[in-house]
Structure 1
Amino acid sequence: MSHFVVIGAGQAGAALVAKLRSQGFDGHITLLGAEDAPPYQRPPLSKAYLLGEMARERLFLRPEAWYAENGVELRLDTPVEAIDAKARSVTLSGGETLSYDRLALCTGAHPRRLPGAIGGDLPGVLTMRDLADADRLSPEMVEGRRLLVVGGGYIGLEAAAVARKRGLEVILVETADRILSRVAAPQTSDYFRDLHARHGVDIREGCGLERLLGEDRVTGARLSDGTRIEVDFAIAGVGVDPATDLAEGAGLAIENGIRCDIHCRSSDEHIWAAGDCASLLWTDMRIRLESVGNAIDMAETAALNMLGRGVEYRPKPWFWSDQYDVKLQIAGLNAGWDAVHVRAGATPAQASHWYYRGAKLIAVDAMNDSRAYMVGKRLIDAGKSPDPARVADPDTDLKALLA
């Protein structure tokens, strides 16, 4: 009987094993998870779960009993130490060895931590990535306390929004000259800067963290502009790195993640990868897509190809972020944009930003405007690029752009 092993019990790993079973694979499946919780949703961690609006059990993608009922051996709290690609085996943290016929790596990504040299290892300096992070962070979120958020990307901004909703004072520092500078146009940065300012977040752009202060616990920070501030705790929202240690140890090709071909196969013919840990070729770029949609779609494609189906993976990037009462929906990838056209919405809270590279529409940021998002996504998927003047004209019927 064939044995398929999946390392990583997150969104991608859960989608992959479910797809294998739904496609009729009747061999042995082992799903290995380093955490002690069954596969769960990550996006609510920094939103509804941290706000206390979602119970732990509601995070789970499926009831834990589903795995046994569907012949999936789910082994939690089981880190993998090494992969022997030649022998086709994995070694678990306790020394046990499992042989495999096909292996899938769904190992995700690790949050970057602040260097110990600047106090990043002090107690009270936290990250926001997994369930354990959220559980450590929740008791810190006490009304009236002061939080320092380091990093003005989406994770940092979402953490700031939750903290303000729970009544904390928030200072956010961003080394770059504007928040979201690496992922969005200035127009989108302006929108979210104004949103957070109206909710009382003290955003300091062009201002880095020089050092965290404290002995037994973080108590303050010295910023690059020379100011010192007192804080009760800090969150590092400075990005993630793909979890490639196992793949590197196995000799797999690494290029901004585990290098995969169009079939989600790694450089080893018996190993596939999916989700945040995997890099893929998209148009003329090798990219990683850190999103739920990509984790599911890539994992399901990998599952089909582990069964020999020869299906090509053609991602259709989309993302979202919830902050206060604003839902940001992003269609496409804005890499290489040279013009952004702003379309006003029906209310001041509504807006959409349309990214063009030359005459080609490549991405849309839609704030509280699901219609603009859906139309933009359909246009991008179809390879259609409407006249930017029509896009920016609020009198233009969005649906007419699809004609």
Structure 2
Amino acid sequence: MIIGAGLAGAKAAEVLREKGFDGRIVLLGDEQHRPYERPPLSKDLLTGKADRESAFVHPENWYTDHDVDLRLGAAVTAIDRGAREVVLGDGSRVGYTKLLLATGAEPRSLPGADATLRLRRFGDTEALRQVLATGSRLAVVGAGWVGLEVAAAARQAGLEVTVLEALELPLLPALGREAARVFADLHVEHGVDLRLGVQVAEAGPGGVRLADGTRIEADAVLVGIGAIPNTALAEAAGLDVDNGIQVDEHLRTSDPDIFAAGDVANAYHPLLGRHLRVEHWANALKQPAVAAAGMLGVDAVYDELPYFYTDQYDLGMEFLGHPDGYDRVVFRGDVAAREFIAFWLKGGKVVAGMNVNVWDVTGPIKALIRSGSAVDIDRLTDPSVPLADVNTDRSGAPA
């Protein structure tokens, strides 16, 4: 049984079949669409570079061809752990032997801002595309990844865009001050009215009112202030929940027959030595293989480094690692030209890396992080030294 017919749920069903499981698979989703990926909602699908079909995880006939009982519009109201059954919205019950929770997360809302836009489902993208096609002004509350990607799409569509952020820089919690400045400058250079350190008092279809009384007129308002993991089912079932469903490195919950993956899972990461909940595509793509193995009685370990990417204007970026508690950021390449790699260090060791308009380097960045070794900063920041050789001297011996 898989609750949640998004990327994580669909990949779990796929992996179960790939691993030879020939029993019954029930995949339950509360939307009317078969499983699809969410990054295109704020990227190529929003800008019209791709059509809806490209976002689906599998072709329409895949589920019947692989004997997956995909039930759409099937809201789950409860998990009865004692009976090993889930309760559906119509009162019917379906039994399970092993259960995967892939319930994802929902965007946070501003109080009293029900008429604003958000971006999580197909319908949200369609509404936003209509604004980009017919509107002239867009206000974006929140300068996180989704907010900035939408701002870039709107500017490229010719709209006037105002981005409102409570913190002193966009992406500050994710990147820290040193690298966040790159994205602030990027949007200002492309004509975004970026207002930092402001508080929103009220938002609606006609615009935004700030706490100081300033009024920003807009044809529509997008709210992108983070997401809340969908843990209600897990909480009601008595599973351990803390900023998501708590799972171990095997993605197993406090119930040995129930697993969790994707945005909702707060998983113990053996390399980082802590629990971590990551709301990015890579987790939803890769965690299901580990969860599926566990459901089949094989204890695989999820130790992939956090990964995410973004495309804004002419800037493409990939990010690896977890910079929590970093003490230094250094750069390799041309920051002004936005062709560089940034490294976050802690105690002289690389804990995260971000390549901006520099490609085919995620492998060596990942190796630097996983090595856990202190690096020579001069070699790390010298573009003439291959990343793979940063921790070796010219003879090939450890540096």
TM-score by length of structure 2 reads: 0.94
Q: Give the superposition deviation at 1:372.
A: 4.3
Q: Secondary structure of the equivalent of 1:126?
A: coil
Deviations 1:327-381 (A, max 9, x none): 1100111111111012224981212211001111100111111244442122113
| Structure 2 unaligned regions, length at least 5 | 393-399
1:87 is matched with 83
Q: Give the superposition deviation at 1:384.
A: 3.8
Deviations 1:28-82 (A, max 9, x none): 0000011111111111111110111111111111112111111101111111111
- Matches for 1:347-358 after TM superposition, within 5 Å: 348-358=337-347
Instruction: Give yes or no for the alignment of 1:306 onto 2:302.
Output: no
Instruction: Give yes or no for the alignment of 1:247 onto 2:208.
Output: no
- Matches for 1:61-100 after TM superposition, within 5 Å: 61-100=57-96
Instruction: Give yes or no for the alignment of 1:401 onto 2:397.
Output: no
CA distance in 1, matches of 2:342, 2:213: 36
Q: Give the superposition deviation at 1:134.
A: 0.9
Aligned mate of 1:376, from 340, 358, 365: 365
Aligned mate of 1:234, from 221, 234, 241: 221
Aligned mate of 1:28, from 14, 24, 49: 24
1:195 is matched with 186
Instruction: Give yes or no for the alignment of 1:126 onto 2:117.
Output: yes
TM-score by length of structure 1 reads: 0.93
Judged with a 3 Å threshold, the aligned counterparts in structure 2 of structure 1 residues 103 and 144 are, in CA distance, closer, same or farther, namely: closer
Deviations 1:204-232 (A, max 9, x none): 1111212226xxxx212221343222111
CA distance in 1, matches of 2:361, 2:288: 28
Aligned mate of 2:282, from 273, 281, 293: 293
User: Are the aligned partners of 1:188 and 1:365 in contact in 2 as well (CA < 8 Å)?
Assistant: no
What percent identity do the matched residue pairs reach?
42
2:157 is matched with 166
Aligned mate of 2:55, from 47, 56, 59: 59
Instruction: Give yes or no for the alignment of 1:106 onto 2:95.
Output: no
Q: Secondary structure of the equivalent of 2:173?
A: coil
Instruction: Give yes or no for the alignment of 1:321 onto 2:317.
Output: no
Q: How well do the aligned residues superpose, as a CA RMSD in angstroms?
A: 1.6
Q: Secondary structure of the equivalent of 1:15?
A: helix
Amino acid at match of 1:303: A
Amino acid at match of 2:79: I
Deviations 1:184-216 (A, max 9, x none): 122221111111111111101111212226xxx
Judged with a 3 Å threshold, the aligned counterparts in structure 2 of structure 1 residues 53 and 270 are, in CA distance, closer, same or farther, namely: same
User: Are the aligned partners of 1:143 and 1:166 in contact in 2 as well (CA < 8 Å)?
Assistant: no
Judged with a 3 Å threshold, the aligned counterparts in structure 2 of structure 1 residues 64 and 165 are, in CA distance, closer, same or farther, namely: same
User: Are the aligned partners of 1:375 and 1:402 in contact in 2 as well (CA < 8 Å)?
Assistant: no
| Structure 1 unaligned regions, length at least 5 | none
Deviations 1:275-334 (A, max 9, x none): 110111122321102222212221110101101012222222211111112111001111
Q: Secondary structure of the equivalent of 2:174?
A: coil
Q: Secondary structure of the equivalent of 1:356?
A: strand
Amino acid at match of 1:8: G
CA distance in 2, matches of 1:6, 1:220: 40
CA distance in 2, matches of 1:97, 1:378: 47
What is the aligned residue count? 390
Amino acid at match of 2:78: A
